[in-house]
Structure 1
Amino acid sequence: MNKTKETFVFGFALFAGFFGAGNLILPPLLGFNSGADWWLVALGFIISATIIPMLALLAHANVQGTMYDFGKKVSPVFSLFFCFCIFLIVIALPAPRTAAVTHEMAIAPFFGTSSLLTSIVFFVLAFFFVINRNNVLNILGKYLTPIIVVILLIIIAIGIAFPAVEMHASTFELPVVSGLLEGYQTYDAIAGLLMGGVVLVSINNSKKTMSFKEKKVMIFKSGLIAMTGLFIIYAGLIAVGALHNSEFNEGISRADLLSGLASKTLGSTGSVFLSILVSLACFTTAVAIIVSVADFFKAYFKQYEKAYLVTAIICCMVGIGVGQMDVKYIIDIALPALMFIYPICIVLIVLNVIPEKWASSFVFRAVVLVAFIFSIPDFLGFLISAKELAGINKFIPLAKENLGWVLPAICTFVLVNLYESMIRKRTTQL
């Protein structure tokens, strides 16, 4: 396989790994609620669900290690704790959610079987793909992704070409911020940390010997292909949701809206096509998540030959247990966890992308610590009454928008770099 073809296969595989349950059901409802402001909501959504994940892939291209290497400059103990938090979240929330969405949108409407049965069959099939590790990206990139893309583009093209007569007004006070925070629910920033490692392992497992620079270029190009695809799909689904928002009842669920849009654009066969799309998108994401987690533990426990297999079994068992729950419930319980981990993820991604001269160990420690401290009110905001946090939030810029960590982290980055620059100048003068 030549490099260009291999890059596209990796790019399509990355797209398939990123594009799962949340990526399908979140954008249309965002558009539905945003009306004429859909492009502002899309801007915020794309920042957290496309640009930041692309930066995560670029960080992987720079680091060319595992996710453990992202936080090593803070401390090895912190990095290990961070990795375990990420893996706990993805195993317990987004991976099982793929089975839950598959059941609600692709199985229950046609067969009426139990969610437990769907979850069992879903993760048994996923397990067989996962243990066939060396062919995973090839299968995802060559066969499954093109099917997903074609069905989605047809729905988007018809939906935009034949809009409703009228459009309801936006329900968002801050459309960009609303889109940005909703993008957290796609888990794409976390997926960037995971999927970059999957691509890197796949490149290393290939028969070709590639230099550090060649791997960096391939990760960048394949990431650009994947993120371009996500950008088109996200913006398209948000636009379709907005253009047809007057045709659905207020308070419609995410799943029902997506089903309704599929029926309006593809007619009576829309539900069938949507079932195929949902099943494929969710399945590819579940496989990618489990592979990434198993890859990490295989690398970390090198002396234990069955680390990959045992990890895959545990992930699938957890998936079966949580995957039988309601989709809305899984989304709701995820919010506090995302508010806790996302600021740290974003900070680590950015610090691993920028030139090393501006990202010393001291910078890593200071910025991560400040981001964590100032994100605590955002995290607590989903657990306790907003009134109890009002006294704290009024002193923190952007706290009301659940982004109170952003400006303190940026200021810390600038101040620490200025301090280190002054120290270097003094040392040089002496």
Structure 2
Amino acid sequence: MTLTARQRLVMTFTFFSMFFGAGNLIFPPFVGAQAGSAAMPAAIGFIVSAVGLPILGVLAVTFSGGFDGLAGRVSPRFSLWLGLAIILTIGPCFAIPRTATTSFEMMVAPFISDDPQSAPRWIVQLVYSLTFFALSFLFAQHPEKLSKVLGRFMGPLLLILIAVLFAACLVHGVGAAATPSGDYATGQLARGFLDGYQTMDLLAALYFGIVISANIRAQQVDDERQVQTETAYAGLGTGALLILIYGALSYVGVVSGAITAIDPSTDTGATVLTNLTSSIFGTAGTAFLGVVFVIACLNVCTGLICTCATYFHKRFPVIGGHAVSYRAWQVLFTVFSFVVSNAGLSLIIKVSVPVLSALYPMAIVLVLLALTHRVLGSKFSRVYFWTVLLVGIVAFGGCISSLLAVFGFEGVLPWLDAVLAMLPLQGDQLGWVTPAVLGVMVGVVDSLVRRR
């Protein structure tokens, strides 16, 4: 059995809703506002990284038999540890708490009164977070039925709201686009590519297929090959939607930057959107933007809770001789994320950036190796081990250097910084490219030697 066109559209909306959260809403306008008149190359770089890589990741994982099948080509133990690192990064340690905090800042914080007689801010945030995570927990009860919530209602509603925002920008017009500034003063294409990392969509793409596959099977599609094909269709449809949305939001950023200049060192994508909606819609614009953020963040939070709980339930069904259900993992991740969202998130955000810079290069090379498996990996199996090993050494070296700087110990390991600086493209945060090429070469030689 195959899905109908309508069912495929619902699956595409479900996939899109799981991807498109606060970061996806904030970063493209910030790119457009900084790049200004050079927004086109900046947006292209961002789209390649934030859309191209995740969709390639969906295809690579789908046709490799899941993430374990892909990462297991390096080694089963590597698959376990990398999987745990990715799940915890895109889940309770960073991405899930950020959904509640960001939506609170956009929807509720602007309307909190400074009156001493009013409820303190921390109480308001506590109540909001409790309500937010209660709804997410409710929506995530049955991951195989997620398409009924996200695909049929929340996803289309979010698209309509973004379309309204884009239409308002078209009516307003851009006028004279701002001069490129900040990180986008030069090298807009490369900078856009690097900023696409911040969406974390490539890491999420490696596991979102778990939930989408469950929803497809719930439509009475039993053949595993057909499930993979339908998942790929949903991934490609999601990619097309994301390209349109990111292009539209980049233009929104250009219009906002032309209306109100921003300071790239202190402002964020949220500032860019707030400036625009306040200028076009007035006070009502703040509430409108808040609704958009709440829907986007609620969608992603629900999808991430489903993904994390499903992964841990399948990986650790029994702990200490006791069965651990999907619901137990769901409760654990929801409660933990609720606590983190109300205490200590700022530190986790600072720590997460170096962690992402360590995980992303390994994820990229795994995806690229999977896509070239027939002509490379299947003939020279050791390329997986050597490529990921050399890339991982460089990536984690950079992660350690960045973490030391976050905690105020910058320069403690000068030799490490000196070695990393010797790598080509390290200044553009692409120092892992040369080790990746070297790893492929060493892997081919190692495979030939072992074969003989």
Task: Give TM-score, length-normalised by structure 2.
Answer: 0.86
Distance 1:230 1:353 in 2: 21
User: Is 1:365 aligned to 2:385, yes or no?
Assistant: yes
User: Is 1:244 aligned to 2:271, yes or no?
Assistant: no
| Matched residue SS, 1:244 | helix
User: Is 1:408 aligned to 2:435, yes or no?
Assistant: yes
Distance 1:59 1:272 in 2: 40
Q: 350, 366, 375: which one pairs with 2:395?
A: 375
Q: Residue in 2 aligned with 1:317?
A: 335
Distance 2:346 2:324 in 1: 35
Distance 2:245 2:166 in 1: 8
Contact 2:256 2:272 (8 Å CA) reproduced: no
Q: State the AA in 2 paired with 1:12.
A: F
User: Is 1:391 aligned to 2:418, yes or no?
Assistant: yes
Q: State the AA in 2 paired with 1:298.
A: H
Q: 287, 295, 310: which one pairs with 1:295?
A: 310
- CA RMSD, aligned part only? 2.4
Q: Larger deviation: 269-278 or 28-37?
A: 269-278
Distance 1:166 1:327 in 2: 38
Q: Residue in 2 aligned with 1:262?
A: 277
Q: State the AA in 2 paired with 1:104.
A: E
User: Is 1:126 aligned to 2:126, yes or no?
Assistant: no
Q: Residue in 2 aligned with 1:30?
A: 31
Q: State the AA in 1 paired with 2:393.
A: I
Contact 2:382 2:446 (8 Å CA) reproduced: no
Unmatched runs of 5 consecutive residues or more in structure 1: none
| Matched residue SS, 2:72 | coil
Q: Residue in 2 aligned with 1:73?
A: 73
Contact 2:15 2:234 (8 Å CA) reproduced: yes
User: Is 1:209 aligned to 2:236, yes or no?
Assistant: no
Instruction: Note closer, same or farther for the CA distance 1:85–1:22 as it changes in structure 2 (3 Å cut).
Output: same
Offset at residue 165 of structure 1 (A): 3.0
Offset at residue 274 of structure 1 (A): 1.6
Q: 324, 348, 368: which one pairs with 1:350?
A: 368
Unmatched runs of 5 consecutive residues or more in structure 2: 114-120
Distance 2:273 2:350 in 1: 19
Distance 1:362 1:408 in 2: 15
Q: 161, 174, 187: which one pairs with 1:174?
A: 187
Offset at residue 351 of structure 1 (A): 2.0
Q: State the AA in 1 paired with 2:130.
A: I
Q: Residue in 1 aligned with 2:100?
A: 99
Distance 1:163 1:318 in 2: 45
Instruction: Note closer, same or farther for the CA distance 1:156–1:325 as it changes in structure 2 (3 Å cut).
Output: farther
Distance 1:115 1:211 in 2: 44
Q: State the AA in 2 paired with 1:105.
A: M
CA deviation digits over 1:300-332, x for unaligned, max 9? Answer: 234565431111111111211222258766543
Distance 1:168 1:325 in 2: 38
Offset at residue 17 of structure 1 (A): 0.2
User: Is 1:194 aligned to 2:207, yes or no?
Assistant: yes
| Matched residue SS, 1:57 | helix
Offset at residue 194 of structure 1 (A): 1.9
Q: State the AA in 2 paired with 1:373.
A: I
Task: Give TM-score, length-normalised by structure 1.
Answer: 0.91
Distance 1:120 1:315 in 2: 14
Instruction: Give the % identical residues.
Output: 28
Offset at residue 353 of structure 1 (A): 2.6
Q: State the AA in 1 paired with 2:125.
A: S
Matched pairs, number:
423
Contact 2:36 2:254 (8 Å CA) reproduced: yes
| Matched residue SS, 2:286 | helix
